[in-house]
Structure 1
């Protein structure tokens, strides 16, 4: 338990003057000798400074950790956003989309047998050494039931979107 007076900042100077004048005179009206209280306050102030510094350093450390976490999440989000070149490059889409995504994209392009073709593209891609197609001729050669006209339609449709 701590005995304390809460004083508004506006009234602080006035209260200090009153305390000083009360300390100078005791109840008998004689001037009292003031004992410097600074010797008692110095360790307390030093302790307060240390505690404040410790809390400040903890806060700073938490802030740094939070910033690193946010930077990490931001980089992850940036990696999810397709690059401009990737959006218009059908070959990169053929190399990166999974079967379901390929199927949806092929259906939107009105390619007949989109689901079977998507599975065939994914299967052919996984049989490749680097698990990706080198060029469009490689796609046509590797994927069964994919002709020149179909790959041209895919390239045209996907290049527009």
Structure 2
């Protein structure tokens, strides 16, 4: 049989058939504070599985309610409690041990039976040593009628405390990681916003440089352009003011097709274009290369 050892179980997954009103709130509060200060309960409870991830108390209702109270006070430090879980291979022995310990707590007069090795309250007489050297019994306040006394200095209980402390540290690290992740996400969003602004400025600068490069190449003589007003007009003004047929006539050579021109007219009716980069951004299927052709063409004939 595998060695018996306590497990850490989430308090919220445990239920009890014993009403909480059976225990004094003052006692529950006091023990809950001690659990939080120590980092766990020194007395593991006994549980039986009651589903895929649910448990029911077999012994230790007071300890459970004290742990639940600790979780109410500080959810980060009171999430788990040490417990022995009944399994098919250990259930009979565990229940027998709980039964005998309860009898011992109630009678304080059990002796070991030579036949069974267990303690039997019906043994005829106590050992001789107990007569010669009587032991003074110290009454320990019974926090609840079904509490299972166990020694606090056992190795298993110390391990339970260490495991509970380790679980609390993990929860604190998780919370810190969540906070750092939130800060990192905000920083990334701010960086993306700045990058988009810089890209828009670079597009504007690139188009302006291209215009300046093309100015010396413009033919000295100006040619008449169909449907163009006699006043000097920039390409951006033309995109904001010429009607659909005029746009098609003036920019057909630059690669503008009717669907794109319709989109230009629709977008400028909503809001005039503020820059060439704004035109490229708002008009689908209109790229930087086509926009440069539009600027080149207009520069030649303006």
TM range (shorter): 0.3 to 0.5
TM-score of the two chains, using structure 1 as the length reference = 0.40
TM-score of the two chains, using structure 2 as the length reference = 0.26
Higher alpha-carbon Rg: 2
Higher strand share: 2
